[in-house]
Structure 1
Amino acid sequence: MSRTAIQELSDGQTLAQSFQAADKQLRVNRQGGKYILLKLSDRSGTIVGMMWNADETTFDTFDRGDFIHCSGRTQIHNGALQMIVTEIQRMDPAEVDSSDFDRFDADQAESNLTRLRELLATISHPHLDALVQTYLKDEAFLQSFQLAAAAVTNHHAYPGGLLEHTVNMMELVRLISPRYGNLDTDLLMVGAFLHDLGKIDELKSSGEISYTDRGQLVGHIVIGVQRLNEKIAETESASGNAFPTELRHQLEHLVVSHHGLQEYGSPKIPVTLEAIALNHIDNLDAKLASYTSIIESDVAADGNWTNYHPSIGRKLWKGQS
């Protein structure tokens, strides 16, 4: 069954095709009428769906994560494309082409993993090298790392996104660190590798990306420090040598401070040069990925500018059309 990818939809299209129900909520409007708010997804992205004059009977016919056949029409609302849904029918997974919905690019993930190994091979500090080798020898960890997303929304929010984000940051370390002689390149490189590894356990990448129970209760920063100390213990056991306490503390600080500010979720603000650099490198890659996504998905009538986005407080320049 042919379908139009979400990323290719435009204003005023009449549709009758498959989507995945990433989320659903039954809401009540000001007049007391009920409607269903949907988050519809496919391989290319997501779109909001609205089904007016709905009730529990329709709402209960499908679950989050199900494939559904939706009829309706697209429209622009508050600068964003959405779909007004008139009919919903749950689909058997055998009725859909999984390639329309699978967002994991195995070839790209394998390429990123190869590059990760190459970048980590540049580390000359013996204790840091021994630590990263402990991670790289863990096949279960590597498999999970390749599949993990970096976020539910905003940046690199797709299976394989965490590995891509990590490699991007490590590439930036190679470019930036040599410009500043007082930065410890090995330490910063390992910090870029470690900083978000807790997201492997914080987020569920199979199906629609969402938080795990542990992710909701603990969060990726604490999970990342726990994983780090587990790997340090494995490294000590394998080598028979104690891992330097001060180096452990430096690595822990890189993980707990990488969000930069406590109001952004960092238990501690960056106080070492490497931690300050890591925070800005992380923010640079995340922001550029997020803003690029906004530009690519924008449906503004003005070809040179995106719609105004309240979350970032601006329009973005898309270039001459």
Structure 2
Amino acid sequence: MTRTPINELTDGMTLAQSFQAADKQLRVNRQGGKYILLKLSDASGTIAAMMWNADEAIFDRFDRGDYVHCQGRTQIHNGALQIIVTDVERMDASEVSLDEFERFDANQAEQNLSRLRELLATLSQPWLIRLADAYINDESFVLGFRQAAAAVTNHHAYPGGLLEHTLSMMELARLVGPRYSGVDTDLLLIGAFLHDLGKIDELRSSGEISYTDRGQLVGHIVIGLQQLTEKMAEVEASSGETFPAELRYQLEHLIVSHHGMLEYGSPKIPVTLEAVALHHIDNLDAKLASYTAIIDRDIAADSNWTNYTPAIGRKLWKKK
């Protein structure tokens, strides 16, 4: 069955094809009528969908993560493309081409992981080398890391996105650190590596990207600190020495302050040069990835500008 990838859909198309149901919610409108709010996905991206005049029987036809056959049409609503679904039925996995829905690029992940190992190999401080080895030689950690997403919606929100974001930040750390004599490049590099590792357990990357129970209750900053404590204990056990207290505190500070501001979720604001640099590198990479995604999926009629995006408070110029 020929299908049109989500990133190739345009306004006014009539559809009768397969999607993966990334999310579904049964809601009630102001008049008491029920409708289903859907998030449909494939390997090329995700799209919102609505099914009006729905009920529990239709809602229970399929579960989150199932493949579904949808009939309907595309339309633009508030500047974004969506699908108005008129019929939906569950499909068996044998009825679809799985490669049309797999968002994880295993080959790219292996390339990214290989480059990340190269960057960690440039560390010169013995304790940081041991710490990096404790992470990267842990097969269970690496398996989770290579497939984890960096976010649910904002940036690098796809399997393998956390590794891509982390590697990008580490590349930037190697460029930025040597430019400033007061910055410890080793510390900044390991901070870029460590800062978001808690997201491996905070987010569920298989099927719909969503928060785990631990992620909802604890969050990636605290989870990242717990991971760091465990790895430091492993280093101490293998070396027979105590991890230097001041270095421990600096590493912990890099994790707890990387959001930059208390209102953005950081328990502490950055107070070391490495922490200040880490926050801005993180913000730069996340913002550029997020804004690029907005431009790529924009469907504005104006070829020069995107639609106004409330989340960032502006239109973006689209490079010709």
Q: Same fold (TM over 0.5)?
A: yes
Q: Is the counterpart of residue 292 in structure 1 residue 283 in structure 2? A: no
What amino acid is aligned across from residue 40 of structure 1 in structure 2? L
* Matches of 1:61 and 1:26, distance apart in 2: 12
What amino acid is aligned across from residue 131 of structure 2 in structure 1? L
Structure 1 residue 186: Cα displacement:
0.3
* Matches of 1:150 and 1:312, distance apart in 2: 19
Equivalent residue number for residue 208 of structure 2: 208
* Matches of 1:54 and 1:134, distance apart in 2: 52
Structure 1 residue 319: Cα displacement:
2.0
Equivalent residue number for residue 175 of structure 2: 175
**Structure 1 residue ranges (4+ consecutive) displaced by more than 3 angstroms after TM superposition:** none
Q: Is the counterpart of residue 256 in structure 1 residue 265 in structure 2? A: no
Q: Is the counterpart of residue 32 in structure 1 residue 32 in structure 2? A: yes
* Matches of 1:55 and 1:131, distance apart in 2: 54
Task: Count matched residues.
Answer: 320
CA deviation profile, 1:159-211 (whole Å, cap 9, x unmatched): 11000100000000111111101000000000000000000011111111111
* Matches of 1:203 and 1:305, distance apart in 2: 33
Identity of aligned residues (%): 75
Q: Is the counterpart of residue 225 in structure 1 residue 235 in structure 2? A: no
What amino acid is aligned across from residue 109 of structure 1 in structure 2? A
CA deviation profile, 1:113-145 (whole Å, cap 9, x unmatched): 000010001100111111111111111111111
Counterpart mapping for 1:22-101 below 5 A = 22-101=22-101
Equivalent residue number for residue 133 of structure 2: 133
Counterpart mapping for 1:239-318 below 5 A = 239-318=239-318
Counterpart mapping for 1:87-166 below 5 A = 87-166=87-166
* Matches of 1:63 and 1:134, distance apart in 2: 39
Q: Secondary structure at the residue paired with 1:140?
A: helix
* Matches of 1:256 and 1:174, distance apart in 2: 21
Q: Give RMSD over aligned pairs.
A: 0.7
What amino acid is aligned across from residue 202 of structure 1 in structure 2? E
Q: Report the TM-score when normalising by structure 2.
A: 0.99
* Matches of 1:75 and 1:222, distance apart in 2: 42
* Matches of 1:43 and 1:263, distance apart in 2: 34
* Matches of 1:269 and 1:299, distance apart in 2: 38
What amino acid is aligned across from residue 31 of structure 2 in structure 1? Q
Q: Secondary structure at the residue paired with 1:154?
A: coil
Q: Secondary structure at the residue paired with 2:38?
A: strand
What amino acid is aligned across from residue 192 of structure 1 in structure 2? A
* Unpaired runs of at least 5, structure 2: none
